[in-house]
Amino acid sequence: MKSKLCIVFFVVVLLMSGCSEKTDEEIFYKAQKQMVDMETYICTADITIYGNKTPIKYTAKQWYKTPNKYKIEVVGPETLKGKVTIYNGKRAWVSHPRIGQEWLMEDFSTTIEQKFFLGYFLNNFLNTENPQLSRETVEDKEYILIGAEIPGNHPYFTKERLWFDIKKYYPRRLQVLDTNDNVIINVEYIDFKFNENLNNNIFKIKGDI
């Protein structure tokens, strides 16, 4: 009898919660689950890098496959169009056809390109000691704002924050900040698609067997 009462009570709670507005914690859980369950993604991103001089802006396509395979191809502006960076999980290959150069990198972890990817943020978020959660409204749209620390004590790359759309459940904006909370990198995700079927050849670089 007691077990039946517990089941009834549980069903009533579920029905009541279904009729009420979701809490930040419920939304955060669903957003977190969406990211944790992410195996791959494809998107276009508008990227801005801020420094001492004029900000650098460009648009690029991104491909990601868990746990650490990346590809980014610049589609604009014309001066950078066609530049491709591929990381196969061990080393990176960069091709810049506009200047007729290409090269290999043995250490991709120190590059700024890695920080454009949601996979990089997810890894930091899962390992951060002080995750942050809040709700924000931007241009009449509501987002869950998720914050994570970046390891390594780098003065220009100390923390990240991700805006996650609470209606469509996809990432909208990713920012990397310095120790003074200045935005160093701003990524606006466009046409984001989770768990697309990606062939490993996308992440193949010269020298791979």
Cα–Cα distances (Å) from 163 to 42, 137, 183, in that order, read 17, 10, 14
Percentage of residues in the chain having pLDDT higher than 70? 89
Tokens of 11: 């069903």
Tokens of 73: 């191809």
Give pTM, 2 decimals: 0.84
Segment 36-51 shows an average pLDDT of: 94
Q: Is 182 helix (H, G, I), strand (E, B) or coil?
A: coil
Segment 154-178 shows an average pLDDT of: 93
Across 13-17, 48-52, 143-147, 199-203, least confident range: 13-17
Residue 115 CB partners (closer than 8 Å, separation 6+): 150, 157, 160, 176, 185
**Average pLDDT of the chain, as a whole number:** 86
Tell me the pLDDT tens digit for each residue of 61-96.
Answer: 999 999 999 999 999 999 999 999 999 999 999 999
Q: What is the CA radius of gyration of the chain?
A: 20
Nearest alpha carbon to residue 162 among 180, 190, 179, 143: 143
CA 70-76-78 angle, to 5 degrees, is 125
Q: Is the pLDDT of residue 5 over 70?
A: no
Which has more pLDDT, 6 or 111?
A: 111
Local confidence band at 3 (pLDDT 50, 70, 90 cut-offs): very low
